[in-house]
Structure 1
Amino acid sequence: MIHHKSIIEFGIIGLGRFGYALSKKLTELGKEIMAIDTIENRVKKVRNLTENAFLVGALDKETLLDCGIQNCATVVICIGDSIDLSVLTTLNVVSMEVPRVIARAMSYEQGLVLEKIGAEVISPENDMAVRLANRLVNSSILETIELRGDITVAEIKLTLKVSGLTVQELNLRQKYYLNIIALEHKGETITEIGPDCVLYEDDILVVVGKRENINMLEIHLAGQK
């Protein structure tokens, strides 16, 4: 087994539906990942996404060290089916002094235990894998609320690309079919926003619209289109 010395951004332990979705989204966002599981077909599936996919016999500390999980900046433990294994694996990773350890909890009680041993906790009800991936890579989307269908309310941090433009010039309704609900500028929230309102870098826009259109705006703000 290869022992990785260079820093890998994200380690993912447990490649069930949640772990695989997180792996896929992070690699789509251009991030390097390491993925580990004890089930062969899960590891084979992730090998399409990363060379650093390891099939292991157990998730004990020695095996995880052999894989090089301690060289990851963030490790996400996505084990859902066994609380004992989830807690023990989390404890092992925390003891390696990985800078950020995130663990998936299947119950409130499990979440409490995971927090006690030093992990950030996510639950499938509150954090779907794709949203977590977006949060991990610090995208300009700060928070989202999913409404019915594919309609989303999102907080979006504005970049230098649109600084100095007015609301009318940005033209979100015409270009992205998005409506502005509110604007936060230097800590002050404004809900009555006219077309001549000037936007600045680091302002936060609260918009409502389809998720795919919010993603297109995010790409534009990042300067990718």
Structure 2
Amino acid sequence: MPNHERRDDEKRILVIGLGRFGSSLALELARRGWEVLGMDSNPRLVQTYADALTHTVIADSTDEEALRQVGAHQFARAVVAIGTHLEESILTTSLLVDMGVGNIWAKATSRRHGRILEQVGAHHVVLPEHDMGERVAHLVSGRMLDYVELEEGFALGKTKAPKELLGRTLQETRVRQRYGITVVSVKRVGASFTYATQETILHKGDQIVVAGRTDDVERFAESQRP
């Protein structure tokens, strides 16, 4: 690894853990033109992705000296994608924090695991299985076409424009006052999504993206069920 100063704007990232989550993330970043160093203690996984990633290395991420040898302290961004071994995940995250890595994403397998990662200094914690399960539950149980919770208590939902909002401007529908949500974008049939304004008029077949408190987004979607 070249010995140069760490810069926040460089498209370089360290991904520790090349299981299903870590490898998918690393491969997508590489596809987008990022320089990716993939690290795992499993030689088979490292060999699998050696040709697809910029650099790969077999190393124990709980060993501070091993992290320094691969230049972990030179990265502005790192992802700790270790999921099955909680102690390794927590210790690795803690070492990266001590090294001054300024933007650390860590995978958690439970909310308790996530809280511990936050306590040791992870800047972002993701719960892939939990988040996907929650998202699918919303899609299955309501009229949502897509659903993303941006953070605890705030969400985006995609749904078909309900009949009661058709043919009038969004200002006239008073949807924000009635439901506490904001229509942020609209997609006409055969067109792409575009920003919505108070003067936007919805038509039959339109898809809309709404934003608001999670409870309000859910209540709006439920209210549109037949």
Distance 1:4 1:35 in 2: 18
Q: Which of the two has higher C-alpha Rg?
A: 2
Partner of 1:122: 126
1:174 alignment partner, SS class: coil
Q: Aligned in 2, Cα 1:193/1:48: closer, same or farther, shift over 3 Å?
A: farther
1:92 paired to 2:108: no
**For the structure 1 residues 113 and 194, does the alpha-carbon distance in structure 2 shift closer, same or farther, using more than 3 Å as the test?**
closer
User: For 1:185-213, what per-residue CA distance to the aligned partner results, in whole angstroms no more than 9, with x for missing partners?
Assistant: 5xxxx495358xxxxxxxxx728xxxxxx
The match for 1:78 among 72, 78, 81 is 81
Q: Does 1:26 align with 2:29?
A: yes
2:190 — aligned with what? 174
Gaps of 5+ in 2: 149-155, 157-185, 211-226
Deviation at 1:83, TM superposition (A): 0.6
Q: Which AA in structure 1 matches 2:126?
A: I
Q: Is residue 61 from structure 1 mapped to residue 64 from structure 2 by the alignment?
A: yes
Q: Deviations over 1:76-105 (max 9, x none)?
A: 100011111110000000111111011111
Report SS of the residue matched to 2:209. strand
TM-score for both structures, normalised by structure 2: 0.59
Give the 3 Å change call, closer, same or farther, for CA 112–153 of structure 1 in structure 2.
closer
- What's the offset of the Cα at 1:61? 1.2
Deviation at 1:51, TM superposition (A): 2.8
The Cα shift of 1:126 comes to 4.6
SS in 2 for 1:101: strand
Q: Does 1:113 align with 2:116?
A: yes
1:14, CA displacement in angstroms?
A: 0.4
TM-score, normalization: structure 1? 0.59
Superposed CA RMSD: 3.2
Q: Displacement of 1:58 after TM fit?
A: 5.1
- Report the Cα offset of residue 152 of structure 1: 3.2
2:4 matches 1:5:
yes
Q: Does 1:193 align with 2:201?
A: yes
In structure 1, how many angstroms separate the alpha carbons of the residues matched to 2:112 and 2:187?
47
Paired amino acid for 2:4: K
| Residue 218 of structure 2: aligned partner | none
List runs of 5+ in structure 1 lacking aligned partners: 129-144, 156-169, 196-204, 208-225
Q: Provide the C-alpha distance between the structure 1 equivalents of 2:68 and 2:131, rounded to a whole number of angstroms.
A: 28
Query: Relative contact order: is structure 1 or structure 2 higher (C-alpha 8 Å, sep ≥ 6)?
Result: 1
